[in-house]
Amino acid sequence: MSLKSKCAIAIGKCSQFALRLLGKTGGSYPGKLALTIDKHVLSDLAKDYETIIITGTNGKTLTTALTVQALKQKYPNLLTNSTGSNMQQGIVSAFLSHRSVPNEEKIAVLEVDEANLVYVVPFLNPKIVVTTNIFRDQMDRFGEIYTVYRKILDGITLSKDTIVLANGDAPIFNSVSLPNKQLFFGFSDKPEADIKAHYNTDNVLCPHCEKVLHYRHISYANLGHYFCPNCSFKRSELDFTLTSIDELTLDYSKFTIDHHPFTIGIAGVYNIYNALAAYSVARLFDISADAIQTGFTQAQRVFGRQELVQVDDKHVLINLIKNPVGLNQVLELLKLDDNPCTLIAVLNDNYADGRDVSWIWDGQFEELHHLTIEHVVVGGARHAEMHLRLEVAGYEDMQVCPTISEVITAIKQAPSKRVNVLATYTAMLQIRKELATQGYVKGELD
C-alpha cells in the first residue's frame, strides 16, 4: 500500500468518525475526500474481498438488503453500503467504515449506480454482478435504455472472470453476447399463452430482427417469457426459477422458488423479483433455502420503499417513485388495500430525481378510482405538474403543499388513518429528514 493510499484511508476514516459524531451517516463525503487524495484508493480498500455488485434501474436497494440478510446466515460480518450511497464515493465510504474480523472470509455486497460500474469494477473485480432490470429512467441523465445497458456492459466487461447474474425475463439482458459466464433468474408461474406487451411498453422489439416480441406470460412491463415469432431469439433457460406466486397482500408476499416456499415482509410482484435475485446469489454461495428464508425474515423494509411510519394516529406508507414502471407497480401495490386513505404525491425535479418529470403522465393514476381515497395532496417543487396530472386523472379538490413542512402537516391532518405517500428521491429524503427532526423516524441520510 502506497503512502498516498494510507493517507487517503486515514483522512477518510477520520472524516467519517467526525461526521458520525455530528449525527450524519458519513455515507458519501469520506469516500469523496479519500478519492481526492488517491483516485486508486478503492483498490487497496477492496483487496481480499469477494464482491457482489447489484445494479439496474429499479430494485437495487431492496435486492441488496435481501442479499445481505441471506448471506449473513453464513458470513455475519459482511460489508455493504446500507446508506444507499451507490456511486464511487459511496462505495469507498462503505469500505472505510467496515471493520473486518481476523481469519473471517471477506464478503462485500454493494448496490452500484448503473453509470458507476465502469469506475468501480476495475478495483473490485467482482465475483458476481446482478442486473435487476432496465427501464426508462432519468432520460436527461442516462438517455434511452440501450445507452444505460451499454454503461453497465462497459463496466462488466472490465472483469472477464465476473459471473453476470441477470434477470432472464428482461429481453435486453439477452440482446448482447458477453465474454462473461451468464446465469439467469426469472418467473415461470403462469400458463403459457401467445400475447404481446402493452403498446406503451419499452424494449419489446427483437434485437435481432426488430419485430415485436411475443410472450408466453408477462409479469409486468416488458418482463416475462418472451420469444420472437420471426426468428430464433427467445428467453434463455433459467437457472433459478420462481414457480408460483402464492399470496399477495399489502403487508407481505408468499411465493415458491425452485419448489421452496418463501415469505417476505414486503408487497408487490416487483419485490418478488428482488427476492429471487437475492436467492440466486445466496444459492451461488451454497446457502440453503431454509437459511435464505431465515435471512428474508430478518430483512427490514428499506427507507422510502414501502416504509411504514407512525405519525401520531396516522399509519403512513412511504413509497419512492422515480420512473413510469416503478410508479405503476407502486400504484398496483396500493390497489391491494381497500381501506379509506389519503393520497399524497410529492414531485421534485432535482438532479437526483431527473429534471424531466414528463414520466408521471405514463402513470396509471386512473386505476386508483375504485379505492376510497378521502383526500388528495400534491407537493414538492413540481407540485403544479402533479396537480395537473391528477386533475386529468379525475381527482378534484386537491390540497397543494409546496413545502415539505406543509406536507408533514397535511399528513398529520389527514382525514383518514391511512396515508399513502408517493415521493421522488429527493422529496423522500426531505420527508424523512423532517420526520426524523420531529422524532418519528430514526437517523438521517446524507
Contact 242, 255 (CB under 8 A): yes
Give residue for cell 472472470.
Answer: 161
Do the Cβ atoms of 8 and 38 come closer than 8 Å? yes
Active site residues: 356
Q: Is the dihedral of CA 277, 280, 286, 288 positive or negative?
A: positive
Give one DSSP letter per residue of 204-260, joined into a string.
-B-TTT-PBPEEEEEEETTEEEEE-SSSS-BPPPPSEEEEEEEEE-SS-EEEEETTE
**CA 134/CA 118 separation, integer angstroms:** 17
Tell me the angle at which helices 117-124 and 88-97 cross, rounded to the nearest 10 degrees.
Answer: 40
Would you report the helix, strand and coil content of the chain in percent, each value rounded to 5? 35, 20, 40
β-bridge mates for residue 199, sequence order: none
Helix (H, G, I), strand (E, B), or coil: what is residue 307?
A: strand
Q: Which CB contacts under 8 angstroms, 24+ apart, belong to 234-239?
A: 235/168, 235/169, 235/171, 235/174, 235/184, 235/186, 236/168, 236/174, 236/182, 236/184, 237/184, 238/168, 238/184, 238/185, 238/186, 238/188, 239/168, 239/183, 239/184, 239/185, 239/280
**CA distance linking residue 235 with residue 21, whole number of Å:** 51
